[in-house]
A and B are shown apart, each in its own frame.
Chain A
Amino acid sequence: MNTISPYHTWRKVKNHSMSVLSFACAITVIAPLALVLFYLIKAGASSLDWHFFTQLPKPVGELGGGMANAIVGTLMLLALASFIGVPVGVLGGVYLSEYGSERVNWWIRFGADVLNGVPSIVWGIVAYALVVVPMKGFSAYAGGVALGFMMIPLIIRTTEEVLLLVPNGYREGALALGIPRWKIILRIVMKTALKGIVTGVLLAVARIAGETAPLLFTAFGNRFWTHHLKDPIAALPLQIFSYAISPYDDWHRQAWAGALVLILIIFLINIGVRALTRGKFSGATR
């Protein structure tokens, strides 16, 4: 019996061409990413020197200087934002997954999804109204609040999703041992989902690390070191923005370097996420 049908060759060709097409699509997606990274490295790497990381910006017109305060400022803002965003987000996610009623939860989820899509400048305005106006000035606090509020809906959703992935069997098993509910959630459910929760937090941090708009009129930027959190603070995106629209080549050069550093920070955070998802006791995480 003839096992090779006349359609066999046509099927092979079709199969092969689909593989090629899929590969091409993948390339199309990754290529811009690779190109951007490549260009950034090309444009900015040469400016990454010791001065860049340790010196303050020089006054207008003078060559040299660095973005030390902006780098530190970004890190401080991220810390502040996490301080606000992580507890609220994680606890909100816990509430959605472990408590609450059907109706209330539906509204919370809906709200979170809507807020996830709100333009970041709106968060800036909210922080302006809530923090800048009463304090009568721009501050790191305001920037932290703006970025922190942005993190909340993101973390709520990722936390909830990860907690829902924890099989109910663990909760039941723990309940049957006579362990109080809150302890079960804290010591067992969250511990099982910890990697997923941390992943969600880090992704949120990576997301807000590059936000510029909300910082425009909250953190405001600072050409010097910030000594109090109630003072305006420099941040990489702000610095990049102001340098990029300036007429000075030197500042353009530094802007490229700053963008590269920003991308590297985000890159490192993501690598950290990857490293975390490999571990000895894997729970219910991705």
Chain B
Amino acid sequence: MERHFDQELADLKEHLLRMAGFAEQSVAQALKALVQRDHSLATKVDADDSLLDKLEIEIDDRCIKLLALRQPIATDLRFITMAMKISSELERIGDQAVNIAHRAEELNKEPLLKPLVDIPRMADHAQGMIHDGLDAFVYAKPDLAREVVKRDEKVDLLNRQLHRELTSFMIEDPHTITRCLNLMSVAHNLERIADHATNIAEDIVYLYEGRDIRHQNG
């Protein structure tokens, strides 16, 4: 039976997807600002972040109302609670994108240290994780989400690798320290983005299967 509540849930889903779209866009733009050394993009990411903040508040507000007024249970309850968590993760992804944009601005003031290889690779993974996680949400594919969770390890490995590489750079030539630290910061931000994407994927598994798969990899 079609309920008015179903319309409200559909609206919530739409808002969440829109927020996810913006978050993806933020990350893409921040990376573009870095890789293409584009200053205007960097400032844009910063400005757009307030949108993500607003959306998080709006989604949380809707969810609280739905919980208070509709007494949801089962899938509806899982959906609403996960929507609140996912919106929080998306907002933080947005914050990390802003951080990357700030680092990009700093790095663009100095010449390129070395061609960027690992960072774009990390970015691809992280962005792929976000994208596939959202696909899993839209098309109800918890198995895809599980698979996304597994990819976090690769990003962590890349991060550690880059960390070592940049450390040796800094030891060899102290003039590169600023740039190296900024790059390490970017890598760290990307690693955090991947973590948030993992959390989102775990929430999606819970949403569709009712199974909590968090904290299982130590």
Quick check: do A and B touch in the complex, using CB within 8 A? Answer: no
B residues in contact (CB < 8 Å) with A = none
A residues in contact (CB < 8 Å) with B = none
